[in-house]
Structure 1
Protein backbone atom coordinates (compact mmCIF):
# COMPACT_ATOMS: atom_id res chain seq x y z
CA UNK A 1 0.00 0.00 0.00
CA UNK A 2 1.33 3.43 -0.97
CA UNK A 3 2.06 5.80 1.93
CA UNK A 4 -0.27 8.78 2.19
CA UNK A 5 2.74 11.06 2.48
CA UNK A 6 6.06 10.71 0.66
CA UNK A 7 9.04 12.11 2.55
CA UNK A 8 12.22 12.75 0.55
CA UNK A 9 15.33 13.97 2.37
CA UNK A 10 17.71 16.17 0.41
CA UNK A 11 20.89 18.05 1.32
CA UNK A 12 19.61 20.31 4.08
CA UNK A 13 15.94 20.28 3.08
CA UNK A 14 12.94 17.96 3.01
CA UNK A 15 10.30 17.44 0.33
CA UNK A 16 6.85 16.36 1.53
CA UNK A 17 4.39 15.08 -1.08
CA UNK A 18 0.72 14.54 -0.27
CA UNK A 19 0.13 11.14 -1.83
CA UNK A 20 -3.55 10.34 -2.22
CA UNK A 21 -3.82 11.24 -5.92
CA UNK A 22 -6.97 9.19 -6.48
CA UNK A 23 -8.67 11.52 -3.95
CA UNK A 24 -6.92 14.70 -5.15
CA UNK A 25 -4.79 14.39 -1.99
CA UNK A 26 -7.79 15.10 0.24
CA UNK A 27 -7.04 14.74 3.92
CA UNK A 28 -8.02 11.78 6.03
CA UNK A 29 -6.77 11.03 9.52
CA UNK A 30 -3.82 8.98 8.26
CA UNK A 31 -2.54 11.82 6.07
CA UNK A 32 -2.97 14.32 8.89
CA UNK A 33 -0.94 12.19 11.27
CA UNK A 34 1.78 11.49 8.70
CA UNK A 35 2.17 15.18 7.80
CA UNK A 36 2.22 16.21 11.46
CA UNK A 37 5.00 13.70 12.18
CA UNK A 38 6.99 14.82 9.13
CA UNK A 39 6.75 18.51 10.07
CA UNK A 40 7.81 17.70 13.63
CA UNK A 41 10.81 15.80 12.25
CA UNK A 42 11.63 18.77 9.99
CA UNK A 43 12.09 20.90 13.10
CA UNK A 44 15.50 19.24 13.45
CA UNK A 45 18.38 21.66 12.89
CA UNK A 46 19.70 19.51 10.04
CA UNK A 47 16.64 20.41 7.97
CA UNK A 48 16.79 24.05 6.90
CA UNK A 49 13.83 24.27 4.50
CA UNK A 50 10.67 22.33 3.64
CA UNK A 51 8.91 21.89 0.31
CA UNK A 52 5.25 20.81 0.36
CA UNK A 53 3.51 19.60 -2.81
CA UNK A 54 0.98 17.05 -4.05
CA UNK A 55 1.07 13.93 -6.19
CA UNK A 56 -0.90 13.58 -9.39
CA UNK A 57 -3.09 16.25 -10.95
CA UNK A 58 -4.02 18.19 -7.85
CA UNK A 59 -2.39 19.73 -4.80
CA UNK A 60 -5.11 19.11 -2.24
CA UNK A 61 -8.92 19.03 -2.30
CA UNK A 62 -9.20 19.70 1.44
CA UNK A 63 -11.09 17.25 3.62
CA UNK A 64 -11.95 13.83 2.20
CA UNK A 65 -15.74 14.03 2.29
CA UNK A 66 -15.93 10.28 1.81
CA UNK A 67 -14.96 10.00 5.46
CA UNK A 68 -18.09 11.99 6.36
CA UNK A 69 -20.62 10.14 4.23
CA UNK A 70 -20.72 7.07 6.51
CA UNK A 71 -20.97 9.00 9.76
CA UNK A 72 -24.05 8.37 11.94
CA UNK A 73 -25.72 11.67 12.76
CA UNK A 74 -24.30 15.18 12.40
CA UNK A 75 -20.49 15.16 12.63
CA UNK A 76 -18.58 17.40 15.02
CA UNK A 77 -16.47 19.22 12.44
CA UNK A 78 -15.09 21.52 15.11
CA UNK A 79 -13.45 18.52 16.75
CA UNK A 80 -11.71 17.64 13.48
CA UNK A 81 -10.47 21.21 13.11
CA UNK A 82 -9.25 21.28 16.71
CA UNK A 83 -7.50 17.91 16.42
CA UNK A 84 -5.94 18.22 12.96
CA UNK A 85 -6.32 21.37 10.85
CA UNK A 86 -5.52 24.00 13.47
CA UNK A 87 -2.40 22.16 14.68
CA UNK A 88 -1.28 21.77 11.05
CA UNK A 89 -1.51 25.51 10.36
CA UNK A 90 0.28 26.26 13.62
CA UNK A 91 3.05 23.80 12.73
CA UNK A 92 3.60 25.40 9.32
CA UNK A 93 3.58 28.97 10.63
CA UNK A 94 5.65 28.13 13.71
CA UNK A 95 8.31 26.04 11.98
CA UNK A 96 11.64 27.83 12.39
CA UNK A 97 12.57 27.57 8.72
CA UNK A 98 10.98 28.49 5.39
CA UNK A 99 8.15 26.34 4.06
CA UNK A 100 7.78 26.45 0.27
CA UNK A 101 4.55 25.22 -1.32
CA UNK A 102 4.39 24.01 -4.93
CA UNK A 103 0.73 23.97 -5.97
CA UNK A 104 0.67 21.53 -8.87
CA UNK A 105 -3.08 21.56 -9.53
CA UNK A 106 -6.34 22.39 -7.83
CA UNK A 107 -6.12 23.61 -4.24
CA UNK A 108 -9.61 23.63 -2.79
CA UNK A 109 -11.09 24.29 0.62
CA UNK A 110 -8.60 23.59 3.38
CA UNK A 111 -6.11 22.63 0.66
CA UNK A 112 -6.02 26.22 -0.57
CA UNK A 113 -5.67 27.65 2.92
CA UNK A 114 -2.89 25.24 3.85
CA UNK A 115 -1.00 26.52 0.80
CA UNK A 116 -1.56 30.14 1.90
CA UNK A 117 -0.16 29.28 5.34
CA UNK A 118 3.20 28.45 3.76
CA UNK A 119 5.92 31.07 3.47
CA UNK A 120 6.49 31.09 -0.30
CA UNK A 121 3.92 29.69 -2.73
CA UNK A 122 4.61 28.76 -6.35
CA UNK A 123 1.77 27.49 -8.52
CA UNK A 124 1.54 25.85 -11.90
CA UNK A 125 -0.26 28.07 -14.40
CA UNK A 126 -2.96 25.42 -14.69
CA UNK A 127 -3.57 25.45 -10.92
CA UNK A 128 -6.70 26.93 -9.40
CA UNK A 129 -7.54 28.03 -5.87
CA UNK A 130 -11.11 27.50 -4.67
CA UNK A 131 -12.68 28.50 -1.36
CA UNK A 132 -15.08 25.59 -1.80
CA UNK A 133 -16.69 25.73 1.65
CA UNK A 134 -19.78 27.68 0.50
CA UNK A 135 -20.62 24.88 -1.93
CA UNK A 136 -21.37 22.53 0.95
CA UNK A 137 -22.66 24.99 3.55
CA UNK A 138 -19.48 25.35 5.59
CA UNK A 139 -17.27 28.16 6.90
CA UNK A 140 -13.72 28.63 5.56
CA UNK A 141 -11.25 27.13 8.00
CA UNK A 142 -7.52 26.34 8.25
CA UNK A 143 -6.81 30.02 8.66
CA UNK A 144 -8.62 31.10 5.50
CA UNK A 145 -10.59 33.91 7.16
CA UNK A 146 -7.29 35.16 8.64
CA UNK A 147 -4.99 34.86 5.63
CA UNK A 148 -7.18 35.94 2.73
CA UNK A 149 -8.27 39.40 3.95
CA UNK A 150 -4.66 40.20 4.78
CA UNK A 151 -3.36 38.96 1.44
CA UNK A 152 -5.96 40.31 -0.99
CA UNK A 153 -8.13 42.72 1.00
CA UNK A 154 -11.60 42.41 2.46
CA UNK A 155 -13.63 42.84 -0.75
CA UNK A 156 -11.81 40.12 -2.68
CA UNK A 157 -11.69 37.78 0.31
CA UNK A 158 -15.45 38.07 0.81
CA UNK A 159 -16.21 37.38 -2.85
CA UNK A 160 -13.84 34.41 -3.00
CA UNK A 161 -15.44 32.86 0.06
CA UNK A 162 -19.09 33.68 -0.59
CA UNK A 163 -19.08 32.80 -4.29
CA UNK A 164 -16.62 29.86 -4.18
CA UNK A 165 -15.44 30.68 -7.69
CA UNK A 166 -12.10 29.25 -8.90
CA UNK A 167 -9.18 31.68 -8.98
CA UNK A 168 -6.46 31.05 -11.55
CA UNK A 169 -2.81 30.87 -10.55
CA UNK A 170 -1.97 33.91 -12.67
CA UNK A 171 -4.70 36.01 -11.07
CA UNK A 172 -3.62 34.76 -7.63
CA UNK A 173 -0.14 36.05 -8.44
CA UNK A 174 -1.40 39.41 -9.69
CA UNK A 175 -3.51 39.81 -6.53
CA UNK A 176 -0.54 39.05 -4.27
CA UNK A 177 -2.05 35.82 -2.99
CA UNK A 178 0.99 33.74 -4.02
CA UNK A 179 4.62 34.47 -4.89
CA UNK A 180 4.37 33.51 -8.55
CA UNK A 181 2.79 31.34 -11.22
CA UNK A 182 5.15 29.26 -13.35
CA UNK A 183 4.85 26.94 -16.32
CA UNK A 184 3.54 23.52 -15.35
CA UNK A 185 6.58 21.77 -16.78
CA UNK A 186 9.02 23.79 -14.68
CA UNK A 187 7.07 24.01 -11.39
CA UNK A 188 8.90 21.30 -9.48
CA UNK A 189 12.34 22.23 -10.81
CA UNK A 190 11.81 25.83 -9.69
CA UNK A 191 10.34 24.82 -6.34
CA UNK A 192 13.17 22.40 -5.59
CA UNK A 193 15.78 24.95 -6.60
CA UNK A 194 14.14 27.48 -4.28
CA UNK A 195 14.07 25.04 -1.36
CA UNK A 196 17.70 24.09 -1.99
CA UNK A 197 18.67 27.77 -2.06
CA UNK A 198 16.85 28.52 1.19
CA UNK A 199 18.65 25.57 2.80
CA UNK A 200 21.95 27.42 2.28
CA UNK A 201 20.79 30.70 3.79
CA UNK A 202 21.02 32.01 7.40
CA UNK A 203 18.30 29.78 8.80
CA UNK A 204 18.03 31.43 12.20
CA UNK A 205 17.71 34.88 10.70
CA UNK A 206 14.98 33.59 8.38
CA UNK A 207 13.22 31.97 11.34
CA UNK A 208 13.27 35.25 13.27
CA UNK A 209 12.00 37.12 10.19
CA UNK A 210 9.16 34.62 9.97
CA UNK A 211 8.36 35.20 13.65
CA UNK A 212 8.27 38.97 13.11
CA UNK A 213 5.94 38.63 10.12
CA UNK A 214 3.65 36.26 12.02
CA UNK A 215 3.33 38.80 14.84
CA UNK A 216 2.86 41.86 12.62
CA UNK A 217 -0.73 41.01 11.73
CA UNK A 218 -1.93 41.70 15.27
CA UNK A 219 0.73 44.07 16.68
CA UNK A 220 0.58 47.83 16.75
CA UNK A 221 3.60 49.77 15.45
CA UNK A 222 5.20 50.36 18.85
CA UNK A 223 4.88 46.71 19.80
CA UNK A 224 6.27 45.61 16.45
CA UNK A 225 9.23 48.00 16.72
CA UNK A 226 10.06 46.53 20.12
CA UNK A 227 9.76 43.01 18.71
CA UNK A 228 12.11 43.89 15.84
CA UNK A 229 14.61 45.18 18.38
CA UNK A 230 14.43 41.98 20.41
CA UNK A 231 14.65 39.68 17.41
CA UNK A 232 17.54 41.67 15.94
CA UNK A 233 19.38 41.30 19.22
CA UNK A 234 18.90 37.54 18.97
CA UNK A 235 19.93 37.45 15.30
CA UNK A 236 23.08 39.42 16.04
CA UNK A 237 24.27 36.64 18.34
CA UNK A 238 24.05 33.86 15.76
CA UNK A 239 27.03 32.28 13.98
CA UNK A 240 25.47 33.18 10.63
CA UNK A 241 25.53 36.89 11.40
CA UNK A 242 29.24 36.65 12.17
CA UNK A 243 29.78 34.67 8.98
CA UNK A 244 27.75 37.13 6.92
CA UNK A 245 29.80 40.08 8.13
CA UNK A 246 33.09 38.23 7.61
CA UNK A 247 32.08 37.23 4.09
CA UNK A 248 31.12 40.82 3.27
CA UNK A 249 34.43 42.20 4.58
CA UNK A 250 36.45 39.50 2.83
CA UNK A 251 34.45 39.88 -0.41
CA UNK A 252 33.55 36.19 -0.67
CA UNK A 253 30.34 34.15 -0.70
CA UNK A 254 28.97 33.47 2.77
CA UNK A 255 28.92 29.91 4.06
CA UNK A 256 25.98 29.87 6.46
CA UNK A 257 25.63 26.96 8.86
CA UNK A 258 22.05 27.58 9.99
CA UNK A 259 23.00 26.77 13.59
CA UNK A 260 21.57 28.61 16.59
CA UNK A 261 24.94 28.76 18.34
Structure 2
Protein backbone atom coordinates (compact mmCIF):
# COMPACT_ATOMS: atom_id res chain seq x y z
CA UNK A 1 0.00 0.00 0.00
CA UNK A 2 1.32 3.44 -0.94
CA UNK A 3 0.93 5.86 1.96
CA UNK A 4 0.02 9.53 1.61
CA UNK A 5 -1.15 10.31 5.17
CA UNK A 6 1.45 8.41 7.17
CA UNK A 7 5.06 7.29 6.95
CA UNK A 8 6.06 3.77 7.95
CA UNK A 9 9.62 2.50 8.25
CA UNK A 10 11.31 -0.52 9.83
CA UNK A 11 14.91 -0.57 11.01
CA UNK A 12 16.74 -2.84 13.46
CA UNK A 13 13.54 -4.41 14.75
CA UNK A 14 11.80 -1.06 15.31
CA UNK A 15 8.85 0.10 13.22
CA UNK A 16 8.12 3.84 13.22
CA UNK A 17 4.63 4.98 12.23
CA UNK A 18 4.48 8.74 11.69
CA UNK A 19 1.13 10.48 11.29
CA UNK A 20 1.85 12.76 8.35
CA UNK A 21 -0.80 15.41 7.76
CA UNK A 22 1.07 18.27 9.46
CA UNK A 23 -0.98 21.01 7.82
CA UNK A 24 -4.02 19.53 9.62
CA UNK A 25 -2.19 18.74 12.87
CA UNK A 26 -2.25 15.10 11.77
CA UNK A 27 -6.01 14.84 12.27
CA UNK A 28 -7.70 11.68 11.05
CA UNK A 29 -9.62 11.44 7.81
CA UNK A 30 -10.79 8.28 6.06
CA UNK A 31 -7.52 7.81 4.20
CA UNK A 32 -5.43 8.09 7.35
CA UNK A 33 -7.61 5.55 9.12
CA UNK A 34 -7.07 3.06 6.29
CA UNK A 35 -3.33 3.65 6.20
CA UNK A 36 -2.80 3.40 9.95
CA UNK A 37 -4.74 0.13 10.06
CA UNK A 38 -2.67 -1.22 7.18
CA UNK A 39 0.58 -0.27 8.93
CA UNK A 40 -0.54 -1.90 12.20
CA UNK A 41 -1.39 -5.07 10.29
CA UNK A 42 2.04 -4.97 8.63
CA UNK A 43 3.78 -4.57 11.99
CA UNK A 44 1.86 -7.49 13.46
CA UNK A 45 2.69 -9.79 10.55
CA UNK A 46 6.37 -8.85 10.30
CA UNK A 47 8.44 -11.14 12.53
CA UNK A 48 11.32 -8.65 12.32
CA UNK A 49 9.29 -5.95 14.09
CA UNK A 50 9.69 -6.22 17.86
CA UNK A 51 8.72 -2.68 18.91
CA UNK A 52 6.48 -0.02 17.38
CA UNK A 53 6.90 3.75 17.75
CA UNK A 54 4.04 6.12 16.90
CA UNK A 55 4.64 9.85 16.49
CA UNK A 56 3.46 12.83 14.47
CA UNK A 57 5.00 15.04 11.80
CA UNK A 58 5.34 18.77 12.27
CA UNK A 59 4.30 20.72 15.35
CA UNK A 60 1.51 18.46 16.59
CA UNK A 61 1.04 14.81 17.42
CA UNK A 62 -2.63 14.44 16.47
CA UNK A 63 -5.66 16.73 16.72
CA UNK A 64 -8.09 13.82 16.60
CA UNK A 65 -10.82 13.74 14.00
CA UNK A 66 -10.63 16.02 10.95
CA UNK A 67 -13.92 17.84 11.44
CA UNK A 68 -14.03 18.90 7.79
CA UNK A 69 -14.93 15.27 7.10
CA UNK A 70 -17.96 15.67 9.40
CA UNK A 71 -19.09 19.25 8.85
CA UNK A 72 -22.83 19.37 9.52
CA UNK A 73 -24.95 22.16 8.09
CA UNK A 74 -27.77 23.39 10.37
CA UNK A 75 -30.46 21.95 8.08
CA UNK A 76 -28.60 18.73 7.23
CA UNK A 77 -29.43 15.29 8.58
CA UNK A 78 -27.42 14.45 11.71
CA UNK A 79 -24.53 12.08 11.02
CA UNK A 80 -24.29 8.67 12.67
CA UNK A 81 -21.10 9.16 14.64
CA UNK A 82 -21.56 5.77 16.25
CA UNK A 83 -21.22 4.14 12.83
CA UNK A 84 -18.05 6.15 12.20
CA UNK A 85 -16.56 5.01 15.50
CA UNK A 86 -17.54 1.39 14.86
CA UNK A 87 -15.91 1.48 11.41
CA UNK A 88 -12.80 3.50 12.19
CA UNK A 89 -11.75 4.26 15.76
CA UNK A 90 -12.83 1.10 17.57
CA UNK A 91 -10.99 -1.28 15.21
CA UNK A 92 -7.91 0.95 15.36
CA UNK A 93 -7.88 0.98 19.16
CA UNK A 94 -8.37 -2.77 19.39
CA UNK A 95 -5.54 -3.38 16.93
CA UNK A 96 -3.25 -1.02 18.84
CA UNK A 97 -4.03 -2.54 22.23
CA UNK A 98 -3.64 -6.12 20.99
CA UNK A 99 -0.30 -5.74 19.18
CA UNK A 100 2.01 -8.49 20.51
CA UNK A 101 4.93 -6.11 21.08
CA UNK A 102 5.68 -2.93 23.04
CA UNK A 103 4.20 0.25 21.57
CA UNK A 104 5.84 3.58 22.41
CA UNK A 105 4.16 6.89 21.67
CA UNK A 106 6.37 9.94 21.11
CA UNK A 107 4.03 12.90 21.62
CA UNK A 108 5.79 15.73 19.82
CA UNK A 109 3.10 18.41 20.21
CA UNK A 110 -0.57 18.81 20.98
CA UNK A 111 -2.56 15.59 21.40
CA UNK A 112 -6.25 16.44 21.29
CA UNK A 113 -9.46 14.44 21.27
CA UNK A 114 -8.95 11.00 19.78
CA UNK A 115 -5.30 11.91 19.31
CA UNK A 116 -4.85 12.16 23.07
CA UNK A 117 -6.60 8.85 23.68
CA UNK A 118 -4.61 7.05 20.99
CA UNK A 119 -1.43 8.24 22.70
CA UNK A 120 -2.65 7.17 26.15
CA UNK A 121 -3.51 3.69 24.85
CA UNK A 122 0.13 3.00 24.03
CA UNK A 123 2.31 1.04 26.43
CA UNK A 124 4.87 3.78 27.07
CA UNK A 125 4.24 7.47 26.42
CA UNK A 126 7.08 9.95 26.11
CA UNK A 127 6.16 13.60 25.54
CA UNK A 128 8.13 16.61 24.44
CA UNK A 129 8.19 19.34 27.07
CA UNK A 130 6.16 21.57 24.74
CA UNK A 131 3.49 18.89 24.21
CA UNK A 132 0.01 19.09 25.69
CA UNK A 133 -3.09 16.93 26.08
CA UNK A 134 -6.71 17.98 25.78
CA UNK A 135 -10.00 16.07 25.86
CA UNK A 136 -11.61 18.42 23.36
CA UNK A 137 -14.82 16.44 22.84
CA UNK A 138 -16.94 18.46 25.27
CA UNK A 139 -16.24 21.62 23.29
CA UNK A 140 -18.36 20.31 20.41
CA UNK A 141 -20.95 18.43 22.47
CA UNK A 142 -19.43 14.96 22.27
CA UNK A 143 -18.07 12.40 24.71
CA UNK A 144 -14.47 11.12 24.80
CA UNK A 145 -14.10 8.15 22.48
CA UNK A 146 -11.16 5.99 21.33
CA UNK A 147 -11.22 4.39 24.76
CA UNK A 148 -10.92 7.68 26.63
CA UNK A 149 -13.70 6.99 29.11
CA UNK A 150 -11.99 3.68 29.98
CA UNK A 151 -8.35 4.79 29.97
CA UNK A 152 -8.55 8.15 31.74
CA UNK A 153 -10.17 7.04 35.03
CA UNK A 154 -7.65 4.22 35.31
CA UNK A 155 -4.71 6.54 34.74
CA UNK A 156 -5.70 9.61 36.75
CA UNK A 157 -8.72 8.64 38.86
CA UNK A 158 -12.41 9.44 38.53
CA UNK A 159 -12.28 13.06 39.73
CA UNK A 160 -9.51 14.15 37.38
CA UNK A 161 -10.94 12.16 34.48
CA UNK A 162 -14.33 13.84 34.96
CA UNK A 163 -12.78 17.30 35.07
CA UNK A 164 -10.66 16.66 31.98
CA UNK A 165 -13.68 15.31 30.06
CA UNK A 166 -16.20 17.99 31.14
CA UNK A 167 -13.98 21.08 31.19
CA UNK A 168 -11.76 20.27 28.23
CA UNK A 169 -8.79 22.01 29.82
CA UNK A 170 -5.42 21.66 28.15
CA UNK A 171 -2.80 20.17 30.43
CA UNK A 172 0.95 20.32 29.93
CA UNK A 173 3.27 17.38 29.46
CA UNK A 174 4.70 18.02 32.93
CA UNK A 175 1.22 17.89 34.50
CA UNK A 176 0.41 14.72 32.57
CA UNK A 177 3.54 13.10 33.96
CA UNK A 178 2.77 14.22 37.51
CA UNK A 179 -0.73 12.74 37.24
CA UNK A 180 0.54 9.42 35.90
CA UNK A 181 -0.97 9.84 32.42
CA UNK A 182 2.38 9.40 30.69
CA UNK A 183 5.75 7.88 31.49
CA UNK A 184 8.29 10.64 30.84
CA UNK A 185 8.76 14.23 29.66
CA UNK A 186 11.75 14.84 27.40
CA UNK A 187 13.24 18.04 26.03
CA UNK A 188 11.83 18.71 22.58
CA UNK A 189 15.08 18.23 20.68
CA UNK A 190 15.81 14.96 22.50
CA UNK A 191 12.40 13.31 22.11
CA UNK A 192 12.97 11.04 19.14
CA UNK A 193 16.53 10.12 20.10
CA UNK A 194 15.28 9.11 23.56
CA UNK A 195 12.33 7.15 22.21
CA UNK A 196 14.31 5.36 19.51
CA UNK A 197 17.01 4.41 21.98
CA UNK A 198 14.38 2.85 24.24
CA UNK A 199 12.65 1.20 21.26
CA UNK A 200 15.91 -0.35 20.05
CA UNK A 201 16.47 -1.71 23.56
CA UNK A 202 12.97 -3.21 23.72
CA UNK A 203 13.50 -4.75 20.27
CA UNK A 204 16.31 -6.86 21.79
CA UNK A 205 14.20 -8.12 24.68
CA UNK A 206 11.98 -11.25 24.96
CA UNK A 207 9.14 -10.02 22.74
CA UNK A 208 6.68 -12.79 23.47
CA UNK A 209 7.17 -12.31 27.19
CA UNK A 210 6.53 -8.57 26.84
CA UNK A 211 3.38 -9.31 24.85
CA UNK A 212 2.15 -11.58 27.64
CA UNK A 213 2.86 -8.82 30.17
CA UNK A 214 0.58 -6.55 28.12
CA UNK A 215 -2.17 -9.16 28.12
CA UNK A 216 -1.95 -9.63 31.87
CA UNK A 217 -1.93 -5.92 32.71
CA UNK A 218 -4.79 -5.14 30.32
CA UNK A 219 -6.92 -7.93 31.77
CA UNK A 220 -6.28 -6.84 35.36
CA UNK A 221 -8.59 -3.84 34.98
CA UNK A 222 -11.67 -6.06 34.84
CA UNK A 223 -10.58 -9.36 36.37
CA UNK A 224 -11.17 -10.35 39.96
CA UNK A 225 -8.08 -11.25 41.99
CA UNK A 226 -8.79 -14.96 41.57
CA UNK A 227 -9.30 -14.55 37.83
CA UNK A 228 -6.03 -12.67 37.56
CA UNK A 229 -4.17 -15.40 39.46
CA UNK A 230 -5.54 -17.96 37.00
CA UNK A 231 -4.54 -15.78 34.06
CA UNK A 232 -1.02 -15.36 35.45
CA UNK A 233 -0.77 -19.14 35.70
CA UNK A 234 -1.89 -19.63 32.11
CA UNK A 235 0.33 -16.89 30.66
CA UNK A 236 3.34 -18.01 32.67
CA UNK A 237 2.86 -21.47 31.21
CA UNK A 238 3.09 -19.94 27.72
CA UNK A 239 6.08 -17.79 28.66
CA UNK A 240 7.94 -20.82 30.01
CA UNK A 241 7.68 -22.52 26.64
CA UNK A 242 9.45 -19.75 24.70
CA UNK A 243 13.01 -19.93 23.44
CA UNK A 244 13.70 -16.61 25.14
CA UNK A 245 12.94 -18.08 28.55
CA UNK A 246 15.47 -20.83 27.92
CA UNK A 247 18.01 -18.25 26.75
CA UNK A 248 17.37 -15.99 29.71
CA UNK A 249 17.95 -18.79 32.22
CA UNK A 250 21.02 -20.05 30.35
CA UNK A 251 22.53 -16.56 30.23
CA UNK A 252 21.89 -16.08 33.95
CA UNK A 253 23.54 -19.38 34.84
CA UNK A 254 26.49 -18.69 32.52
CA UNK A 255 26.86 -15.10 33.80
CA UNK A 256 26.57 -13.52 30.34
CA UNK A 257 24.26 -11.13 28.54
CA UNK A 258 21.25 -12.91 26.98
CA UNK A 259 20.67 -12.82 23.24
CA UNK A 260 16.90 -12.89 22.89
CA UNK A 261 15.39 -13.83 19.54
CA UNK A 262 11.81 -12.79 20.23
CA UNK A 263 10.63 -16.39 19.95
Normalising by structure 1, report the TM-score.
0.97
Of residues 210, 214, 221, the one that matches 1:217 is: 221
**Alignment coverage as a number of residue pairs:** 259
Q: How far is the alpha carbon of 1:3 from its aligned partner?
A: 1.5
The answer to whether residue 143 in structure 2 is matched with residue 143 in structure 1 is: no
User: Any idea what SS the aligned residue of 1:208 has?
Assistant: helix
Aligned residue number for residue 167 of structure 1: 171
Q: Which residue in 2 is equivalent to 1:59?
A: 61
Q: Give ranges in structure 2 of 5+ residues lacking alignment.
A: none
State the SS of the aligned residue for 2:61.
strand
User: Hey, what does 1:47 align to over in structure 2?
Assistant: 49
How far apart, CA to CA, are the structure 2 residues paired with 1:178 and 1:107? 12
Within 5 Å, which residues of 2 pair with 1:1-261? 3-43=4-44, 44-69=46-71, 72-259=76-263
Give the SS at the match of 2:54. Answer: strand
> What CA distance in whole angstroms lies between the structure 2 residues aligned with 1:139 and 1:171?
22
Within 1, Cα distance between the matches of 2:8 and 2:47? 17
Which one is further off, 20-29 or 63-72?
63-72
Structure 1 residue runs of 4 or more that deviate by more than 6 Å after TM superposition = none
**Runs of 5+ unmatched residues, structure 1:** none
Q: CA RMSD for the aligned pairs?
A: 1.2
TM-score under structure 2 length normalisation? 0.97
In structure 1, C-alpha distance between the alignment counterparts of 2:39 and 2:233, rounded to whole Å = 33
What is the CA–CA distance in structure 2 between the aligned matches of 1:2 and 1:79, rounded to whole Å? Answer: 25
